[in-house]
Structure 1
Amino acid sequence: MLKLNRRLLMQQCLRHAHNQVRVRFAPSPTGYLHLGGLRTALYNFLFARHLDGKFLLRIEDTDQTRLVPGASERLVGDLLWAGIEIDEGPGFGGQLGPYVQSQRTMIYSKAIEELLQNGTAYRCFCTERRLDLLRKEALRTRQVPRYDNKCRHLKTAEIDSLLAKGTAHCIRFKLTDHEEPLDDLIYGKVYHNVSDTEGDPVIMKSDQFPTYHFANVVDDHLMGITHVLRGVEWQISTTKHLLLYKAFGWQPPKFGHLPLLVNADGTKLSKRQGDIGIQSFRERGYFPQALVNYVVSAGGGFEHKAHAKQELLTMQELFEQFHIDRVNSHPSRLNPELLDDLNRMEITQRLSNKESRFKLIHQVQELVKKAYPQHPNLDLAEDHIVDVLNWSSQRLTLIQDLTSSKLSFLWVKPSNFQLKNMTSEQVDVMLTLLNEIQDFQKEELNVKLKNFAQEQNIKFPLMMKALRAALSGLKEGPGVAEMMEILGKSVTLERLKEAVPKERIHLEQNQ
């Protein structure tokens, strides 16, 4: 206990010794990280980096009944994927840990004792049956269910007697009037007096695990958190937290509450929407910087330039330009079309850098191999992939789209398809013609191919059908000229040469 007291004293001293900004993201490992959680983590990170501060990760796992195995690891993975760097946290070091709440139970027990001793908390022996009756009676009389604070008035002798019997109990905090406004960093002055609407809240459950509100306050204080940025749904609870800080005699951090993140139609974003999980975006093929820019585009925090062209900002550019007083206070509407535009921009951006281009090429190669495992002879040359990506960056949203069945010709070389209705001499003329075309675009290609067919007295539809088969082995898909444009000049010429029947070449050479 002496060792614990020294540790608490050291942490309390550190709390007030911090001259730099310290923020935290404190998720519960009860599921996946979704857009709302990413937005909260991101704004904390941008705020900290803008002011040369620290970003902490804390895992709030005190509700042991709702834990999902592996959720913490997935949360960390998604944060790192998004480019959010963790300065302190489980597995990342730091002097003020542990950073997992289930490992801090002795700290909470000591803090509870302090509140019991100064009279701001008390033991509650009410049974679940009594609490359930209170709830039912409140509902029957059309009132908001709330605890009636019965055990707040127990005498010392009564408490001692119940404890001697081993009666199960929890610890509750005495709510008092709090009429001072919360000076919210985003909403300005906000008034909430929770004692008007709530009974005394539980701060330590009968299983000796703290509730969210209590552990949150204790941890933020001992970890030196200077600013708390979280969703607006927690704004009403902040008054409760300020009362806890007052009960301990601690200086509270500054609070800012982020507005609701909503769908394009204004409806609330919900975890029940299976496609708002970060893992879902990753699996569908969205890139991290595109998703990050998408999230901040809805919430503000940056100088608004009228009619400015949409940009894809790097993480450094984002935190350099970020200002907390520019964050919107109204609900933040997401525009899915913008995400698609940003993802196309990121493909282009990655192609412009040698290192990221190499990684992108490798990613495409792996996707194609996975999509067509039964085809050993795939066209995966780096130059070909770059040509395809340059074409797709203005037309497709995701690189996964490149493996759709309609675009299989990009990768799967046709076999046993031969150019028909054309002599090898005509094929040679056509190949020479195609090779001389500088602007290998579908408009130019269409004109040249039509002229060629007329000059060679070849039926144009039959010729195009033969070219389609030679290039793709497919009966449907993009137009032949567009197909050539997508494949690029070198691949087009290579495939057409391979489609000339060898026996015809041999026969004509002997004539």
Structure 2
Amino acid sequence: MQRNLLRASNFQLLQKRFFKKYHVRVRFAPSPTGHLHLGGLRTALYNYLFARSNKGTFLLRIEDTDQTRVVPGAIEKLQDDLLWAGIIPDEDPTRGGPTGPYVQSARLELYKEQVLKLLNNESAYYCFCTETRLNLLRKEAIKCGQIPKYDNRCRHFNKDKVKEMLRKNSSYCIRFKLSSTPESFNDLVYGDVLHDISKTEGDPVIVKSDGYPTYHFANVIDDHFMEISHVLRGIEWQVSTPKHIMLYKAFGWDPPIYGHLPLILNADGTKLSKRQGDIKVESFRKQGIFPLALLNYVIGAGGGFYKEQQNQDLYSYQQLIKKFDISKLKMSSGKLMPEKLLEFNKLEIANLLRNEKNHKFLIERVKKLVLEAFSERKNDGSLQLDDYHIISTLKWSQNRISTLNDLVKEELAFLWIVPASVPNIEQAGCSDAIKLLNAELGEIDESNYKTDWMIMYLKNFAEKNKIPFAALMKILRSVLSGLKAGPPVAEMMEILGKDRTLLRLQRCVS
């Protein structure tokens, strides 16, 4: 409790010092090395909400300095996933902006200019150590039970030695001189944090031998020139923050305010892994999860909101922005609750259905799903895809399904297609009963095709005609859906409606 109060107090001081002085500018800066996953989505979301709730600016920057790991098409896919999620940057590689370009590989000249400043003020130096030497250092440290790290040998070369090595065209990288005096920094989420990185690593490389900057160097340069006021990123980067602050000081720049987000864990407490196929945003899209449901799902594993919703309705985009409070972010890791995701998605389907303006969108989504699921029936005219039927089906099913994809599962195929085979009612011994039922149902008003009324009617019909009720249900289920199991027959008749019910019965009668 005391720690939370201290954190809130520190946050208020930072707000007074920083928010009034600067326009809030935050960024999401992924590497194009694969798919956007839940951890990245949450980081993007919190940056977006922080910007919007403070009338600030949200940037998307692509950090592709490690060219060996770049996946073709990843940038476009990443932007598409963010767009799908409703997380729209103000400045990005597509829109551009006043501090672009927004892809690091297009900013190499800037990095070259800036590293010269550090070389000139002796905050950085040329390192001529070969990979062979570095490997030997690593092996020797492990052999002695020490932490493998660079021994800073080239830091101590004099200017003449450096000139000589450069004249020989010796391969080199550029390293930054770490301070041996650790300093704490104030983390928006965790309060005062102290990491003595000089104990665990030697002077880091800031420009590689291929001329490309490392993540740490480019990250600092870009945050400065893009005027980033706050950096909200995963907790795994907290240990690197002192290094970044040292770089800022070497340039004589003011660092941004840093806040680190807790880990997201699986339901069983294990860490999320990029190798998990089920944490990619793309996989949730394919499952039929709606964007707002997914966003409400990930905030449960990070906080940032007052806990005023237990059996919560969905936060809308406007509510997410209005209710987001960075001082409410959790410090402890948060577990995902997969069962909540389907609850949220069911709520979103109901919310979308309530507003007729969304019906066209839903109709198109359902049509696409049905045409993909039953592609072999696409051109034979048997698919029932009129708008009224789709909306009626959605209203009937909204409490029975968790995703729109559920509508095309085998047990609900009857909603869209007439069964391929017609059961032999003569062989089943109920030919006369089905003919009579068909005639009676034709006389019943459409308004009576409701589940409760139809159950009573079918029970009375079976009793009156001395047919076992279970046998009648079995043959009717087969006639209407071609299935041995599925929703109750009366429900099938309600959702199919009078005309479609009679059409399927008449196929048997005729």
TM value normalised by structure 1: 0.90
1:473 corresponds to which residue?
482
Q: Secondary structure at the match of 1:189?
A: strand
User: Displacement, 1:423?
Assistant: 6.6
Per-residue Cα deviation, 1:206-242 (whole angstroms, up to 9, x for no partner)? 1000000000000000000000000000001000000
Q: Secondary structure at the match of 1:147?
A: coil
Aligned length: 484
How has the CA–CA distance of structure 1 residues 99 and 496 changed in structure 2, closer, same or farther, with 3 Å as cutoff? same
1:193 aligned partner, one-letter code: D
Q: Secondary structure at the match of 1:98?
A: coil
**Residue 218 of structure 1 pairs with residue 218 of structure 2:** no
**Residue 316 of structure 1 pairs with residue 327 of structure 2:** no
Instruction: Report which stretch shifted further, 390-399 or 338-347.
Output: 390-399
Preserved CA contact (<8 Å) 2:183 2:242: no
1:409 aligned partner, one-letter code: F
Aligned partners of 1:356 and 1:387: how far apart in 2?
14
1:412 corresponds to which residue?
417
Q: Secondary structure at the match of 2:367?
A: helix
**Superposition RMSD in Å:** 2.1
**Residue 403 of structure 1 pairs with residue 379 of structure 2:** no
User: Displacement, 1:99?
Assistant: 0.8
Find 1:378's aligned residue among 376, 383, 396: 383
Q: Secondary structure at the match of 1:256?
A: strand
2:482 aligned partner, one-letter code: G
- In structure 2, the gaps of 5 or more residues are 1-18, 426-430
Find 2:371's aligned residue among 365, 369, 372: 369
1:429 corresponds to which residue?
440
User: Displacement, 1:384?
Assistant: 1.6
Q: Matches of residues 443-482 of structure 1 in structure 2 within 5 Å?
A: 443-482=452-491
How has the CA–CA distance of structure 1 residues 150 and 407 changed in structure 2, closer, same or farther, with 3 Å as cutoff? same
User: Displacement, 1:193?
Assistant: 1.7
Per-residue Cα deviation, 1:45-91 (whole angstroms, up to 9, x for no partner)? 00000000010011100001111000000000000100001101101
**Residue 342 of structure 1 pairs with residue 353 of structure 2:** no
Q: Secondary structure at the match of 2:301?
A: helix
Preserved CA contact (<8 Å) 2:441 2:502: no
Q: Matches of residues 74-473 of structure 1 in structure 2 within 5 Å?
A: 74-305=77-308, 308-375=310-377, 376=380, 377-414=382-419, 417=422, 420-422=431-433, 424-433=435-444, 435=446, 437=448, 440-441=450-451, 443-473=452-482
1:204 aligned partner, one-letter code: V
Preserved CA contact (<8 Å) 2:433 2:465: no
Preserved CA contact (<8 Å) 2:26 2:47: yes
User: Displacement, 1:195?
Assistant: 1.6
Q: Secondary structure at the match of 1:171?
A: strand
Aligned partners of 2:445 and 2:485: how far apart in 1?
22
- In structure 1, the gaps of 5 or more residues are 1-15, 502-511
Aligned partners of 1:426 and 1:47: how far apart in 2?
63
1:199 aligned partner, one-letter code: G
Preserved CA contact (<8 Å) 1:344 1:398: yes
TM value normalised by structure 2: 0.91
Q: Secondary structure at the match of 2:279?
A: coil
User: Displacement, 1:499?
Assistant: 4.6
Give me the identity figure in percent.
53
Q: Secondary structure at the match of 1:275?
A: helix
